[in-house]
Structure 1
Amino acid sequence: MKVTDTSDLWWKSAVIYCLDVETFMDWNGDGIGDLDGLAHRLDYLAELGVTCLWLMPFYPTPDRDDGYDITDFYGVDGRLGHHGDFVEVVRIARDRGMRIIVDLVVNHTSDQHPWFRAARSSRTSPFRDYYVWRDEPPKKQGAPVFPDKETSEWQWDEKAGQYYQHVFYRQQPDLNITDETVRDEIAKVIGFWLELGVSGFRVDAVPFLLQTDGIVDGARRLPDPHEYLRSLRSFVGRRSGDGILLGEVNLPRQDQALFFGGDAGDELTMQFDFIAMQNLYLSLARKDARPLTEALLSRPGGSPDIQWANFVRNHDELTLDKLTDDEREEVFAAFGPEERMQVYGRGLIRRLPPMLDGDPRRIRMVYSLLFSLPGTPVLFYGEEIGMGENLDLEGRMAVRTPMQWNSGKNGGFSAARPSRLRNAMTTGGFGPEHINVADQRRDPDSLLSFVQTLIRHYRNARELGWGAFEVIDQPDVAVLAHRLTWGDRSVVLLHNFAPDATEVPITAKNVDGGAHLSDLFTGEVLSLTATGKAAIPLDGYGYRWLRVHPAGERSQY
């Protein structure tokens, strides 16, 4: 098997770390995280092993949707710093071997954006067609994305004398991508941030961006919305050479394949695997690896120029919308039995450690799994230390609490009075008194140290980001055993979803005749018997990463 040149496909073996500048580190003491604070914590992220930072929106905003309601796509919110601070963060990150991608939120703007203010002023405004207007809302509408806040996708605007479309909140009017000028504006936004040194974009709400059903004038609809997505991928490639589009596409598998561009692989570079994530939690609830296994096997094939992004937690609700109603209730019962833990009837507002009752065996097994699945791992800030949520905060804000740096005031996040914090801290057993970076950096047995070890081994085993995936059949339904092969290199990964110890049968069929195995964590060498078999011990909630050494090759690590 020929090994592909990896020079421009850095994202295949990246470690992506998502953070909100507002909640990461406050350097000027005003209660809000800032770019200066982020710059002072880049060494920590480099030490952790992060290779790519994903920054949530830092643009000017009225802040009615945690920064996703944007008033200037080219700006930096003054509370967080200015362009000079942003460029300094990019420079320092690059010096530490880290790239930066930023949120591209162009499905909508804030209703305070100058474009929308001009659009609503007159039907003859040159900005009118930047948005989607109707004299009457359509009789058939999609279900609101946020059913607790909105009952319709259309909002009457008294000044404009028409209804405007908003798939999300009413303060976020949808942009009209059928308008050529709007598409040109989006390209300029992309080009601007690429010139400032970013390596790509996490593209928000991609299916909604391409949806043009609300446009009244059918002649102006895009003949093929996916052609537009291909043009964005091509534009990023021309401007940067190796920039990426990491898309939020929570759709069934056949639709996800479309957003990759099918066999051509010329649309989104990467997609989050929402289906695998949701089935991971079903597997955890059932102590049965089969739902996750089936989800992984259902991934569509395609071009080598695409990649899945794996995650345990993100910044939104932990959506379970692709599970059946009965499956969703199983997960709710296991990990969110209280109504306040659930949101929108479809998801949870909790982080992993509290859901697993702080059990270090299960927590470590899940993160071992994250870094060993085929694809690129994505961490949400604080996962590396086991942060929890604050259920007193509304909705998705519950998991967006400030980073916990030490056990002192405000967890070391800010010197401001607690009442001035942008978001309240996590409290209780997962608060900064018990969970923080400073304590864990001094503890070789901490979760932080464990995640650093996972990242080191992940970075040393290119098969994990690049390899061909195959499942190794097991008699124990609690065990996920899989193999990843890249060129002449191969690893076998074992994970036990149950509390009982077991043995995992391995045969020469799975690892090639005459081979032996070495454990990447312990260095233990395991040889196959003369008949080409081995029984690998696996603890309850255990995990093992095993390097496959062909016959005659010496174990090197």
Structure 2
Amino acid sequence: MNERWYSKAVVYCLDIDTFQDSNGDGVGDIRGLIGRLDYLARLGITCLWLHPIHPSPNRDDGYDATDFYNIDPRFGTLGDFAELLHEARNRGIRVIIDLVVNHVSNEHPWFQSARSSPDSPYRDWFVWSEEAPSDRKQGMVFPGEQDETWTYDRTAKAWFYHRFYDFQPDLNITNPEVREEIKKICAFWLQLGVSGFRMDAVPFIIERTEPGNPDSPKDFAFLSELRQHVQWRQGDALLLAEANVEPAELTDYFGGRLHMLFDFMLNARLMLALARHDPEPVIDALRDTPALPDGAQWATFLRNHDEVDLSRLTADQRADVFEAFGPSPDMRLYDRGIRRRLAPMLGNDLRRIQLAYALQFSLRGTPVLRYGEELGMGEDLSLEGRMAIRTPMQWSPARNAGFSSADTLIRPLAEGWETLNVTVQRNDRQSLLSWFERMIHTLREAPEVGAGSCEHVDVPVPRGVLAHRAVDSTGSMLFLHNLADSACEADMSSLAAEAGYPVEVLSDDGYDPITDDLATVALNGYGFRWIRLRRNS
């Protein structure tokens, strides 16, 4: 059993309903996903993260569950899911699923019982107030889409709390029965064969008192309880959490609690660096990142299933990113983010796209890749909110991009699918997909990346160039990424003493061979070079 398998993983996240339809109803399903596992294995994926899979009215794209112990019938059955886990394991791919237990759908039997009577056994599973709370206009997660965080229920004759939409009542995590139920949910899916969970909205789950108050103390003890429980059931089970909090709070989520956190701070700084063609924000992020306890790990990403969240940037920094990547109001969301995929944000410039992902995958942490990003998929801004980047996967130039044989799809295809698809790019050695395959397989041959140390190499380099290195017991690697459009040369001779026989393992172009003295390392505009300095084993 490899209890830290996640530190060397390459994670691929997808929505089952938009990946592959096997029965012609226009909705992706589990059988369709099983048929595409060989594609993921060839790409180099080792962990598959599935967005919500439970039965749901789908008012919030599955994040409003009505049954935590079953599969949405649109996707298939529990038997189909067990087959998916088996087939994925046969290909060396683990599967983790979304654990969305901050709230439930208002159609969930627990809430229907709770609202029906004060004597319901589920009444205290939710957060109620007999009087209208004075702070109900504060703390909205989706400003502009919701007006308050408390809603009056006429049947219950009381106000119920909801951090998100009014059809998603929050569970009362302070109730021991709710805690035990969440543990039972985890145990059920672990027994079925999942390798862990991506936990949604963790800071809201552990709010201990005063719902809606950002200064409310957090109940980190529950995270410790949950970690202990899942690892007792399965020693290598993973808890990967979404917690976009202040840097000073981040380490509270580790240390016997969560195994991994998404690095939102690095993500925002990466976007700022790409927008300004300046590596300083990334250097700042590497410097400001708190030290993690043994066994803890970051999850890095450029795009996920939500908007690009710029809330941790200053107003001036945010303005620069908006100007570069979201100049039109319809590209923005909640006054804090951008609802676009990365390729169109970077002008569909293959050089910049490869540079951005080469940089992400070379930094400390486990890389997470959103489905379709390996093709340079675009978005559909005519769709509402976050749905703009949740369009069907593009497999071929055939009808409906090979996603489905149906006349009507769950969502329209993104523009450009006729050429931005797996079939076309698989046959082109210069395509983004072919490059991703090479890059990911190179990464898996470099054990010092991700799990080793990651430090900025503080030597004079041309403006726009980021130099950093990764070091662990197996050796060391040097990474150079040029965020500027102009070619240049970097003098890295200060590292020559630690280099045995430097070897280039990945680059954007066919550069002249690296010299032992590392005195003149050429870089194209938007160029990058991964150089192995030393290998110990």
In the superposition, relative to structure 1, how do residues 292 and 514 fare at CA in structure 2: closer, same or farther (>3 Å)?
A: closer
Matched, 1:423 2:418: no
Match of 1:211 among 185, 199, 207: 207
1:155 aligned partner = 151
Tell me, yes or no, if the aligned pair for 1:119 and 1:130 is still in contact at 8 Å.
yes
Q: Which residue of 477, 480, 488 corresponds with 1:491?
A: 477
> Out of 276, 282, 291, which is 1:292 matched to?
282
Correspondence for 2:166 among 154, 166, 170:
170
Which among 410, 423, 442 is matched to residue 438 of structure 1?
423
Contact 1:87–1:196 (CA under 8 A) maintained in structure 2: yes
Contact persistence 1:518–1:546 (CA under 8 A) = yes
Distance 1:228 1:482 in 2: 37
Matched, 1:194 2:190: yes
Specify the alignment match of 2:502 in structure 1: 517
Give the equivalent residue in structure 2 for 1:219: none
2:234 aligned with 1:240: yes
DSSP 3-state at the match of 1:291: helix
Native 8 Å contact 1:108 1:175 kept in 2: yes
Unaligned runs of at least 5 residues, structure 2: none
Output the amino acid matched with 2:412. A
Contact 1:408 1:432 in 2 (8 A): no
- Cα distance in 1 between the residues matched to 2:164 and 2:178: 19
* Structure-1 separation of matches of 2:209 and 2:161: 10
Name the counterpart of 1:342.
332
Q: Taking every aligned residue pair, what percent have the same amino acid on both sides?
A: 48
Q: Note if 1:120 corresponds to 2:110.
A: no
Residue 21 (structure 1) aligned with residue 7 (structure 2)? no
- Structure 2 residue 344 is matched with structure 1 residue 380: no
- CA gap of 1:524–1:224, structure 2 versus 1, over 3 A, is same
Query: 1:56, 1:39 → 2: CA distance?
Result: 16
Match of 1:310 in 2: 300
Indicate whether 1:42 and 2:65 are aligned: no
SS of 2:449 mapped into structure 1: helix
Deviation of 1:514 (Å)? 6.0
Partner residue of 1:230? 224
Query: In structure 2, what residue type is equivalent to 1:493?
Result: F
1:477 aligns with 2:455: no
Shift of 1:407: 1.1
Offset of 1:505 from its aligned partner?
1.6
Asked whether the equivalents of residues 517 and 525 of structure 1 are also in contact (C-alpha less than 8 Å), the reply is no
Q: Is residue 549 from structure 1 mapped to residue 534 from structure 2 by the alignment?
A: yes
TM-score, L = length of structure 1? 0.92
1: CA distance between counterparts of 2:359 and 2:218?
Answer: 38
SS at match of 1:485: strand
Instruction: Give secondary structure in 2 for the equivalent of 1:125.
Output: coil
Contact conserved, 1:496 with 1:541, CA < 8 A, in 2?
Answer: yes
Asked if structure 1 preserves the Cα contact closer than 8 Å seen for 2:448 and 2:471, the reply is yes
Question: What's the offset of the Cα at 1:433?
Answer: 0.8
Does residue 1:458 correspond to 2:446, yes or no? no
State the one-letter code of the partner of 1:424.
Answer: P
Amino acid corresponding to residue 527 of structure 1 in structure 2: T
Aligned-partner SS, 1:454: helix
Match in the other structure for 1:105: 100
Give per-residue Cα distances to partners, 1:447-472, cap 9 Å, x unaligned: 11100111111100001122111111
Corresponding residue SS for 1:17: strand
Residue 525 of structure 1 and its aligned partner are, at CA, apart by 4.6
Answer yes or no: is the 8 Å Cα contact 2:375–2:420 preserved in 1. Answer: yes
The Cα shift of 1:53 comes to 0.2
CA deviation digits over 1:38-67, x for unaligned, max 9?
A: 010011101111000000001000000000
Tell me which of 58, 63, 69 is aligned to 1:63.
58
The answer as to whether partners of 2:286 and 2:455 remain within 8 angstroms in 1 is no
SS of residue matched to 2:65: coil
Q: Which AA in structure 1 matches 2:11?
A: I
Q: Which runs of 5+ in 1 are unaligned?
A: 1-5, 217-221
**Equivalent position of 1:51 in the other structure:** 46
Q: Look up the equivalent residue of 1:439 and give its one-letter code.
A: V
Residue 325 of structure 1 is matched in structure 2 by 315
What residue in structure 2 maps to residue 505 of structure 1?
491
Q: Contact 1:111–1:117 (CA<8 Å) still a contact in 2?
A: yes
Deviations 1:487-521 (CA, angstroms, capped at 9, x unpaired): 1400001101000111122134x353463311003
CA deviations over 1:84-107 (Å, ceiling 9, x no partner): 000000000000000000000000
Query: Aligned Cα RMSD in Å?
Result: 1.8
1:335 deviates by: 0.7
The one-character-per-residue Cα deviations of 1:367-399 (angstroms, maximum 9, x if unpaired) are: 111211111100000011110100000000000
Q: How many residues align?
A: 529
Contact 1:406–1:433 (8 Å) recurs in 2: yes
